[in-house]
């Protein structure tokens, strides 16, 4: 898990996992008040990240392209 440092009342996380045997990643913007629930949910086998916040970017592969990761840092750090 990757976390962009908090900015205001939101935090942006990078989650990585698998869906149907395919690696996936998602950048999710989560309100600070929902962070404890989200972090607890990360311990489960499956998680619907959209249930905890806004999916800013997502894709297939073990990690996001550098350009997208850099964009998230520039916009949300």
pLDDT digits (tens, 9 = 90+) for 18-70: 999 999 999 999 998 899 999 999 888 889 999 999 999 999 999 999 999 99
Residue 44 in any domain: the answer is: yes
Domain count within the chain: 1
**pLDDT tens string 1-31:** 555 555 578 889 999 999 999 999 999 999 9
Residue 76 in any domain: the answer is: no
**Confidence (pTM):** 0.84
DSSP codes, 21-66: TEEEEEEEEEEGGGHHHHHHHTTSS---GGGTSEEEEEEESSS--H
Residue 8 in any domain: the answer is: yes
- Its domain, for residue 42, covers 2-63
Q: What pLDDT does 18 receive?
A: 92
Residue 75 in any domain: the answer is: no
Residue 40 in any domain: the answer is: yes
């Amino acid at each position: 898990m990757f976390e962009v440092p908090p900015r205001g009342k939101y935090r942006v996380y990078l989650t990585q996992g698998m869906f149907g045997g395919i690696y996936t990643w998602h950048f999710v913007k989560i309100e600070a008040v929902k962070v404890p629930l989200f972090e607890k949910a990360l311990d489960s086998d499956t998680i619907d990240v959209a249930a905890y916040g806004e999916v800013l970017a997502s894709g297939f592969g073990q990690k996001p392209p550098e350009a997208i990761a850099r964009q998230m840092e520039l916009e949300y750090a």
